[in-house]
Every structure is written in C-alpha cells, then in structure tokens.
Structure 1
Amino acid sequence: MTVSSEPEGPSGYSYAAVVARSERDALLAVLQEIGFSGWVAPPEDGWVVAVAAYAEDAVAQGRRGVVEVGESVAGTGATVLAVRVLDDRQLAIVAWSGGQEVARYVSDPSREPGAAWDVLDEPIGVEGAAALAETCGRPEVGEELAELLAEGLDPEEEIESERLTRVLSLLGLPTWLVSAWVLPKRMPVGPSPKDLTRLRAGREGVGGLVAGRAARTVRRRRPAPVITDPPRDDGGPDDLMWL
C-alpha cells in the first residue's frame, strides 16, 4: 500500500484486495498455491477479504496482480470481486460468478499505469452494475450502483475511497477495506493485524519472510492493465485547429 499526493487534490491512497464468498480455508489454499503476498482476514457475513501487499505490482506467481489473483480464486467456482484503488484517482472492480466474469469496471482508464496519453478518462463498465449487484445478492441496488459508478468525481474535493465506501455498503461487503492501505499497521476499523493471516509468497512465518524477500525481487513488474484496450481520443474538430 502506498500514499501519494497530487497538486490538484487531496492525498491519495493505493490498495487492492480480493473479496470472495468462500470458506476461508479454501481461499487460503488457492492463495498459497499461487504464492500470494498479502493478508487474509476472518470471514465476515460469508465474505473473506484478502488484501494484496501491493496495489500496482504483481502479488503472486505468473505476474498476477490483484485481478489475476481474483481470477484464480474464481476458478474454484466462488463468487469473487477484485478491487483496486490507485492514488485515490482510479477505482477498478472485476467480478466473477460461477467461474465466469460478469463485470469489469474502471472509473478512469487514463490513470492506468503506463496508459497512453490519448486514453479517455471516462468510466468503462458502468453497464455491468446490474450484474455486479446480482452477483453480490443485492439486485435491488443495481440502478443506484450504476449511477454511483458513472458519477464523475471532483479531483479537488473527492477521492475514489469515498466512492468505494458507498459501493461496498450498497453491496453488503466489508467497508473496512478502504482502510487497508494502513497495513501492516492497525486499521482504524476492521480486524486487527493479529487476526489476519500474513502470507508472503504463499507462506506464513519465518519461511514466508525468506520466500517473500526472494519473490519481491521478481514481482516488481506490473501485471496486465485492467482494461487492455481502452477507448482513445480519435481526434475531433479541436485537434484540427492545430493542423
């Protein structure tokens, strides 16, 4: 987790997590198998949260970022959401149900690390709100969720963690997730560090410390973008003025 500051608005936080409707032991088994680095929380209302150690970098074998980790967990048939916030300027959510992807949303594709200069800053995937709400057992909030995901935020006054708090609340998911950037320190709300299982490259304890250091040297590479082919500015009348 990282904290950054931009001149046009408040400081921003970066964090990422997988939220799964799964038995905790079953989730742990998958995370250990793929060499996940992060924290796994106790179950809460049937959901288990696994907070990734890094928001932008790979956090598991095979150059898996949090979205790819979510996909691996979804392979067990569990209902899964992968959530990522970057500098509080971009929110990404990908969801799976029954092993199939049902929604993929990014609030601002232009904020993706390494994005081209002409990538548009408009949200992608708002139309998946109904499927996302259905997946989380809250079909009645689909319309409200769509409005929330489509909403433009004022960069001088608002941050994506505020949007995510409202999303999690609508979907009935643990809202303490927005404090996950604090880890490994004690979060202001949610489980304490002693109640979390710490995995480093899929291992616990001293073995995990050693494995984690070794894995970190090869996991600084970024995973694939959440949206691999984002819409771009095709050049309109305003561009022609400069020709």
Structure 2
Amino acid sequence: MMMNLFSSFDPSSNWNLSLNWLSTMIGLLIIPSMFWLIPSRLNFIWIKIISILHNEFKNLLGDKIKGMTLIFISLFSLILFNNFLGLFPYIFTSTSHMTLTLSLALPLWLTFMLYGWINNTTHMFAHLVPQGTPPILMPFMVCIETISNIIRPGTLAIRLSANMIAGHLLMTLLGNTGSMLNIYLINILLIVQLMLLLLESAVSIIQSYVFAVLSTLYSSEVN
C-alpha cells in the first residue's frame, strides 16, 4: 500500500512517453505575452521581488563577484515556478524528486568547493577549525566540519524534495478518503484541503527562498 502510494509521485504517462519532465519548463507557454512585452502590475510586483532579493543576496555575498546575485535569483525563480506548477492537478511536481533537486544542489556545491580550494586554500583550511577551538579538540572539529561540508548538497536536495512531497502526500491521503464520507464530512474535508493548499503555497515560496539563501551562504564562505 505504501509502495503504491509513493509510486503515485513517479513520472509516468499514458502515451508511453516520458513527458512529465516537460512540466519543468512548459509553464512558460501559458504565460501571456503581455506580461513580458508590456509592463503590467504583475511585472512591477515581480521586479520588486527581484530587487529585494538582489539587495539581500548582495549583502550576503558582498561586492567581490559582480553579477553573482543573478544566479541565485534565477535559481529562486526556477524552484518557485516548479513548486507552484506542481500545485495544479495532474501536473508532475519535478521539485519533489531528487533527480532535479540534487542536479541543482550538487553542481553548485562542487563549483563553490573547487573555486574555494583552488583560489583560497588557506581560507578554506581555516574554515575547518572554528576560532577559539581548544587544541585538543581540533582533530575532532576538522572531522565534524568536513562531514558537515560534504553533506551540504544532500541536505539542500532532501530538504526541498521532502517538504514538497510531504504536503502533496497529505493532500493525496485526505483526498482518497472523500468517497467514503457523507456530505457533511466532505464539506469539512474541502475546507481542510483548501487550507492545506494555502499552506503548500506558502511552503513553495519558503522552500525556494531557503534553497537560494543557503546556496548564497555556502558561496559566501569560499570568498
């Protein structure tokens, strides 16, 4: 039963074609051209969000690498877009699978590590021992910091996919009980489902923001 329940989130198609991953970018086709050709209220709202993110990421990164905030704003936009697209019925949520989340987190982490160890080797070694650590604890701290550094891409990927699949799983479980309820309990179920949908919308925004901010913090450590 649990295997079938979780397998419902696997990409599948009725035409023997793996078209579900197209949901990652297919939403661009349904955006009216007026929203990106002529400035509208949605344009102004999105530009305001981007400027706020740019200022925040700029404070975290500093002015050492110009244009770096564009990478993390694009990352935030991609994850947010896919998180919201997965809330629509019968659309595959690509961010609930480690295939996508690990593909985003692992290259970023590898790039930061290679850049830091090649260009700032002494600085990276200094990060392995926090300031004020007693000499007797230094070997243990180096092991702990090394392990925590290695598992960073895994924690980024698992955090995003687990949070996205948890809400969808709960909504699926509640939705499957609808056929066994009477009319009064169905009304309560609909209210609960709407509240869960609102919660999932907030989680979609928060998780994309957390992913982008943590990636920014990891990159600021190598400078």
Task: Tell me whether the two structures share a fold, i.e. TM-score over 0.5.
Answer: no
- Superposition TM-score, scaled by structure 1 size: 0.21
Higher strand share: 1
Higher gyration radius (CA): 2
- Superposition TM-score, scaled by structure 2 size: 0.22
